[in-house]
Structure 1
Amino acid sequence: MSALPPRWTTAELAADAEAAAAQFRVERLAVSDSWDVHYKAARRKFEQLFEKLSDLNPGEINEGSLSEAYGLGLGEALRYLAGPPISDDDLRVIADVDSIAPGVLSRDPVALQKVFGVIERVIDPHRFPWMQDGGAPSEQQREAALLASSVLLAAQRIATERRNDGKESQETRVKDYLRSLGFEEVPPGAIKTMMRGPQVKQFCAECMLGERKADVVLRLHDERLMPIECKVSNSATNSIKRLNNDAAVKAVYWIQQFGALQVVPAAVLGGVFKVLSLEQAQARGLSLFWSHDLEKLGAFIESTA
C-alpha cells in the first residue's frame, strides 16, 4: 500500500505557522539596500521626465517632447503622474490605442496625443497642483512632486520584487532540496496522463498537469505524481487567496482528474498563514509542508520507496 502523506493536527499547524511567520519577520527586517536602489532609480526617471516636459508646465508640453519622453522609456513615469497611477492595460484600453509600447507611440502622434490626453484627465492634483492653473511649479512644489512620485513608484516596484522574489526563492529552495535527495530536473512538458511527465526520481518545474499549471511536479518512488505549489504569503488575508483559492482548488482538480491513488497534491509554504486556512486546505486533500522544515517533505518522499 502506498504511503499516505502526513495530516497535521491543529497544534502542529499552529506551531509551524508561528515558525514561518517568525522567519518572515526576520527576513523583512533584514538590512537591505533595495529601497534605496529603487528610490534612486525612480527619482532619476521623474527628474528626466520633468526635464523633458518642462517641469510639467502644460503650456510647454508638446508632441515632440512627449515623443522624446516615450522614446527614452519614460512611459512608466508618465503613467505614475495619474492619481492613482494607471496600469499599462487600463491606459491602452481607455485611450483606445493598439499599443502603448515606446517605439510605437514615439512614431504615432495621434496615439501619443490620445494617451497623454487620458493622463492629463486623471493627473494627480495633490502632487501636481500647478497643472490645473496652467503654469510652472514653484521650487517647493517641484521638489515635493518629485519626492512623492519617486516614493510611489519605488514602493510599487519593491512590492512587486518581494512577491516575485518570494515565489522564485521558494521554488529554488524546493528544487535544490529535491536535488539533494538525488532527484534530477528534466524539461517541463504537458502532462495529460499518468504515464507522461517526470519519471521516478525526476522532477520538472512550471508544467501543466492536466489543465492546471504546477510549480513543481515530481515522480515519487512508488510512481505517483506529486505536484507541489510554492506559496509565500505576507498576511493571513493574503493566505486565503494563495492557499485556499489557488493551491487547494488545484488539489481538488488534480485528485478528481487523476485519482487520489495516483496523485499527491502538496504545497510548500512560507510567510504568514492563518491556521484555519491551513486546516481547510488540508481537508480538501492538499498536503502541507514548510520551507523552514523541508525535512518533513523529504521524509514523506523517502517513505514512498
Structure 2
Amino acid sequence: MANHTANKFRTDLWKEDSIHSVDFYNQWFMESAPEAYRVARAGVVSRVILTLKGLDYLYGINLNRVIDNPQFLSVLRACTAPPIAVDRLAGLSGTTKTLIKTLENGKVPSRMDKSAIEESVARILNIVNRLLDFEIFPWLRNGNTPSAQMLNRSSAIIADRISGTLADPIIRNSQEARQFKAIDEFLQNLGYIKVNSNDFDSCTLMPPKSYAHHMNVPVRISSAKEINMPIDVVIQTTETINNQMPILVECKSAGDFTNTNKRRKEEAIKVTQLRNTYGVDSIKFVLFLCGYFDTSYLGYEASENIDWVWEHRISDFLMLGI
C-alpha cells in the first residue's frame, strides 16, 4: 500500500481544525438534535399510551398481563414516585438486574423456572404498585377512567421521563447516521459501490472501488484466541493489488473534550491488534472525526501512527488514495 497520509503530520492545522470541528458539531447539534429527539420522543409517547391502555390505565397491573407483555415494565418503572432505576428496583424486589432487563426487552427468561419467574415478577409489581405516582395519574385516586386529554397529558410526562434517559443514545444514533451518510455520498460521487459486508469471507476480497458498513475483521488477541473486530466503514480503493487490506475507518463524533481524551486509548488498542495480526505496513486505520477533538487527542493518535479525516473537510479522504 502506498504511504498516503491525511492529517497526522499536518501539525500546523491541528488547532484550527479542532476549532472548525467543534463549530461544525455545534451547528449540527442545534439544527438536527432537537428533531432527532422529537421523533424519538413521539415514539415513546405512543409506547406509553399503549402500555397504559394495555394495563387498563394502571388498574390492571397484574402478573399475567406483565408476563404476556414484559416490555410494559420499562414504562412502569417511569410511572412511580420517584422513577425507579433498574438496579434500585432489583434491590427493592429482591430480584436481579438481568431479569428486569430481559423482561424490558420483551422476553421472559427461557432457562428460568416458571414458578420462579412468576414469584419474581409478582415482587417487582408489588413495588411498582406501592410507588405509583398518583400526581401524574389522578384518576387512580377516585377510580375513574381518564379522559383522552388526561391520558395524553400523563403519557407525555412519562415519555419525557423515559426520553430523558434515552437522550444520549438518541444523539449517538443520529451522529452515526450523519457520518455514515456523509461517507456514502462522498464515495458514491467518486464511483464507489456499497457492498454487503456479509458477502465476503475476508475484507481483502472486496472488489476495487467498493465499501461496506459494519464489517467484522478477525484479529488475534493471543496465540490461541481470535476475535472479530467490528469496523464502521471498510473501503477498498482503486489501488488494490494482491488482496491487500482495505482502509479501515472508525467514525467518531463527540460533544465534549472530556470523553474523547478518556477513550483515546481504545483506538490505540484496536490498531495494535490489527497490526499484530496483519502486519504494521498492511494496516491503514483511519479515524473520521467530528466534534470535540483537541490537539492533545490528535497528538496522542499521531504518536500511535493513527491518521484521521475531518468530517468538516471530508475531501481529505482523497489524500489516502481513495
- 1:171 is aligned to 2:160: no
Matches within 5 A, 1:1-305: 2-6=2-6, 7-30=8-31, 32-47=34-49, 49-50=51-52, 53=55, 61-64=61-64, 66=66, 70=69, 74-81=72-79, 83-86=83-86, 93-94=96-97, 100=103, 102=106, 104=108, 111-118=117-124, 120-121=126-127, 128=133, 136-137=140-141, 148-188=157-197, 189-191=200-202, 196-211=204-219, 212-220=229-237, 221=239, 223=241, 224-225=244-245, 226-240=247-261, 244-302=264-322
Give me the whole-angstrom Cα distance separating, in 2, the residues matched to 1:48 and 1:199.
48
Give me the whole-angstrom Cα distance separating, in 2, the residues matched to 1:36 and 1:186.
32
Give me the whole-angstrom Cα distance separating, in 2, the residues matched to 1:153 and 1:239.
26
Q: 1:185 to 1:48 in 2, by over 3 A?
A: closer
Measured against aligned partners, the alpha-carbon deviations of 1:133-191 in whole angstroms (never above 9, x if no partner) come to xx95589xx99976653212122334322211211321232133122223233332343
Q: 1:34 to 1:227 in 2, by over 3 A?
A: closer
Question: C-alpha displacement at 1:267, in angstroms?
Answer: 1.0
Give me the whole-angstrom Cα distance separating, in 2, the residues matched to 1:232 and 1:124.
42
Question: C-alpha displacement at 1:209, in angstroms?
Answer: 2.1
User: Structure 2: which amino acid aligns with 1:292?
Assistant: H
Give the alignment's Cα RMSD to 1 decimal: 4.0
Question: C-alpha displacement at 1:269, in angstroms?
Answer: 0.9
Which deviates more, 158-167 or 19-28?
A: 158-167
1:94–1:118 CA contact under 8 A, matched in 2: no
Measured against aligned partners, the alpha-carbon deviations of 1:82-102 in whole angstroms (never above 9, x if no partner) come to 644328xx8984475895264
Give me the whole-angstrom Cα distance separating, in 2, the residues matched to 1:119 and 1:30.
41
Give me the whole-angstrom Cα distance separating, in 2, the residues matched to 1:122 and 1:74.
12
RCO comparison, higher one (Cα < 8 Å, 6+): 2
Give me the whole-angstrom Cα distance separating, in 2, the residues matched to 1:34 and 1:2.
41
Give me the whole-angstrom Cα distance separating, in 2, the residues matched to 1:54 and 1:235.
44
Structure 1 gap segments, 5+ residues each: none
TM-score, normalised with respect to structure 1: 0.74
Give me the whole-angstrom Cα distance separating, in 2, the residues matched to 1:124 and 1:181.
62
Give me the whole-angstrom Cα distance separating, in 2, the residues matched to 1:208 and 1:39.
32
2:232–2:250 CA contact under 8 A, matched in 1: yes
Look up the SS of the partner of 1:232 in the other structure: strand
Structure 2 gap segments, 5+ residues each: 220-228
Give me the whole-angstrom Cα distance separating, in 1, the residues matched to 2:201 and 2:308.
24
Q: 1:175 to 1:48 in 2, by over 3 A?
A: closer
Question: C-alpha displacement at 1:47, in angstroms?
Answer: 4.8
TM-score, normalised with respect to structure 2: 0.70
Q: 1:97 to 1:202 in 2, by over 3 A?
A: closer
2:86–2:101 CA contact under 8 A, matched in 1: no
Give me the whole-angstrom Cα distance separating, in 2, the residues matched to 1:35 and 1:285.
37
Q: 1:43 to 1:181 in 2, by over 3 A?
A: closer
Give me the whole-angstrom Cα distance separating, in 2, the residues matched to 1:86 and 1:278.
38
Question: C-alpha displacement at 1:81, in angstroms?
Answer: 4.2
Identity fraction in percent: 14
User: Number of matched residues?
Assistant: 285
User: Structure 1: which amino acid aligns with 2:230?
Assistant: K
